[in-house]
């Protein structure tokens, strides 16, 4: 659990760094690409290329494409229309996606998950009831796609490592993850990126260095390794711990004038959605 706790602090701080210093100032696709490249520079030289099963390599490429590539492209795009506290609150639904994916892999059906999804939408509406527009809902939907792919990466990594045990330490087989992420980030930048919208201030480059070397390289590695060491319920709880920590940091340091009443009321509704998704978990229906 120590790995997960440490990464939680990194994640909580990273959300505010993205929202305050990069969103609207640096091209989203460029920022994601730089993070992948920096993380790859850390792990690619450590990666074992021989005597690793091809099926494991393919699985890691897929996990990297989902958990970082798709997730962070969607996350950065959502910052264009959502505030940092809103982004943090909407990521609280990751455990719901973890539950849905675990149920699908184990051929189970939990109808409460569908109810939870509707409640979560209501919670989002509470937060911005006076400013609901297509852009807001697009941001919410982008984050749900990000939640899904981030959850899928965690669950699939845990299953993949269990199916392919190895005497090698995790970091010797983790470089494939960043190659999978690059397979999404590079085409996205080439197709949609703005080459003239790069960082201009040293502080922005410093933030990118921190996000690439700490949040992306060490953070994602430690998170996935930690996910393999805990039970599913613990992992679900840890997925949400960054939310209160991140909100506290952002509201105290950067965003003192946020509408706290609606923010916490809507957050409470979304938290209820997570609780609803756990109902009947012990008695799932086989399909």
- The confidence score (pLDDT) of residue 234 equals 66
| Whether residue 48 has pLDDT greater than 90 | yes
What span, in angstroms and rounded, lies between the C-alpha atoms of 283 and 103?
11
- The confidence score (pLDDT) of residue 279 equals 64
Sorted by where each begins, the domain ranges of the chain are 2-286
What span, in angstroms and rounded, lies between the C-alpha atoms of 56 and 268?
40
The kind and range of the H/E element at 75 are helix 71-78
Convert the pLDDT of each residue in 102-141 to its tens digit: 778 877 766 766 676 667 667 656 765 555 567 888 998 9
For residue 177, which of 92, 28, 72 has the smallest C-alpha distance? 72
Convert the pLDDT of each residue in 194-222 to its tens digit: 878 889 899 999 999 999 999 999 999 99
Sequential DSSP letters for 227-265: HTTS-HHHHHHHHHHHHHHHHHHHHHHT-TTS-HHHHHH
SS3 193: coil
Contact 257, 23 (CB under 8 A): no
Contact 278, 99 (CB under 8 A): yes
pTM (two decimals)? 0.82
């Amino acid at each position: 659990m120590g790995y997960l706790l440490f990464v939680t602090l990194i994640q909580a701080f990273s959300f505010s760094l993205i929202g305050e210093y990069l969103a609207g100032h640096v091209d989203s696709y460029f920022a994601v690409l730089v993070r992948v490249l920096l993380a790859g520079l850390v792990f690619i030289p450590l990666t074992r290329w021989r005597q690793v099963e091809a099926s494991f390599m393919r699985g890691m490429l897929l996990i990297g494409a989902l958990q970082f590539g798709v997730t962070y492209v969607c996350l950065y795009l959502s910052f264009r229309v959502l505030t940092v506290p809103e982004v943090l609150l909407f990521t609280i639904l990751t455990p719901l996606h973890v539950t849905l994916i675990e149920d699908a892999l184990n051929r189970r059906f939990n109808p409460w998950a569908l109810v939870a999804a509707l409640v979560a939408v209501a919670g989002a509406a509470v937060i911005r009831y006076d400013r609901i527009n297509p852009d807001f809902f697009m941001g919410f939907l982008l984050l749900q796609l990000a939640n899904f792919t981030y959850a899928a990466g965690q669950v699939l990594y845990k299953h993949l490592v269990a199916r392919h045990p190895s005497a090698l330490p995790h970091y010797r087989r983790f470089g494939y993850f960043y190659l999978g992420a690059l397979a999404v980030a590079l085409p996205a930048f080439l197709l949609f990126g703005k080459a003239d919208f790069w960082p201009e201030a040293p502080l922005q480059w410093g933030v990118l260095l921190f996000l690439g070397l700490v949040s992306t390289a060490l953070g994602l590695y430690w998170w996935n390794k930690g996910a393999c060491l805990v039970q599913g319920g613990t992992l679900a709880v840890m997925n949400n711990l960054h939310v209160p920590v991140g909100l506290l940091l952002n509201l105290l340091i950067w965003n003192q004038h946020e509408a706290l009443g609606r923010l916490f009321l809507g957050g409470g509704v979304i938290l209820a959605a997570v609780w609803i998704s756990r109902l009947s978990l012990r008695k799932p229906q086989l399909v």
